[in-house]
Amino acid sequence: MPSLARIPQATRPPDLQRRRTRFHHSFPERKTHVRHHTPRPCLHDCDCVGCVDTFRPRRCKRHQDVKIALDWTPNTDHIGLFVAEAKGYFKDAGLNVRILPYTDAGVASLVSNGAADFGIDDVGLYSQRAAGADIKTPKDLDGLTYGGFGSAWENTLLSSIIRKAGGKGEFKTVTLCTSAYEALANKSVDFTLEILTREGVQAELSGAKLKEFKYSDYGVPDQYTTIIVSSDVYLKANPETAKSFLAAVKKGYAFAADKPEEAADILSPQIRTR
């Protein structure tokens, strides 16, 4: 039996002719279309275009994520970070920096556990402040209640200062963290530690009648230094990112030193919102 391909057109079954017709009309004449794409911003938080919805995506340099943890609520110690953020120094360095707010976990813990890549930390505080007219020297703090911040070195430091002043170095400790200064103001605790340029200035402006003792007067060297810390693991894995980050931060602090009023305007909203 001959194949259907050899059957004359007139002898082909009508249903086959209909199917052939339907098959033919299902493919209209093809036309060539040129599709124009409008460049769109990159979704990778960079400044390039053409990274999305194009036939040939252009390679872009994605900003490197970096997290830095604060050691306290935003204050003048952190001004360089917020200036670098506001002025675009981080972005210019190819970095997407997230400034993490203060938590009770502590900067050292966050950095060592990888929850933060960098952190602002202190190698020491400056003074202790006590309420009460009957407190003349650190010796008078024996038997009183200290509003602390949860660090192991606090009791050792304070005991040393009290003993240097002639006391026994014995006192009660209540861990309050950021609530320590409020507790001191309402006399829930008798003394705490402070940073002179932060809580010290605030107490002076508010007219609080408090007694202040400096470390250096009682055998403890002043270590009023704020530093940026990281971990060996992170620095070995990301040496170039670390260099770029520190360079941008340095630029932020340099700006704050040269233009303190403009830098203060940048910092002020952060103090109210974080």
More confident residue, 140 or 18: 140
Domain 64-123+225-273 has what CATH class?
alpha beta
pLDDT band at 59 (very low <50, low <70, confident <90, very high): very low
Q: What is the pLDDT of residues 164-211, one digit of tens each?
A: 999 999 999 999 877 887 888 788 898 888 766 566 566 667 666 677
Residue 44 pLDDT greater than 70, yes or no: no
Q: How far is CA 40 from CA 63, 64, 139, 241, in A?
A: 17, 21, 69, 27
116 CB-contact burial (10 Å; exposed 0-12 / middle 13-18 / buried 19+): buried
Domain residue ranges of the chain, discontinuous segments joined by +: 64-123+225-273, 127-218
Phi, psi of 130 (to 5 degrees): -130, 150
Residue 150 pLDDT greater than 50, yes or no: yes
pLDDT band at 101 (very low <50, low <70, confident <90, very high): very high
CB 182 within 8 A of CB 157: no
pLDDT value at residue 88: 97
pLDDT band at 235 (very low <50, low <70, confident <90, very high): very high
CB 82 within 8 A of CB 74: yes
Taking the CB of residue 6, how many other CB atoms lie within 10 A of it? 6
Taking the CB of residue 18, how many other CB atoms lie within 10 A of it? 10
Q: Which of 115, 112, 113 is nearest to 98 (CA)?
A: 115
CATH for 127-218, among 3.50.50.60, 3.40.50.10420, 3.30.2350.10, 3.40.190.10?
A: 3.40.190.10
C-alpha–C-alpha distance, residues 69 and 103, integer Å: 9
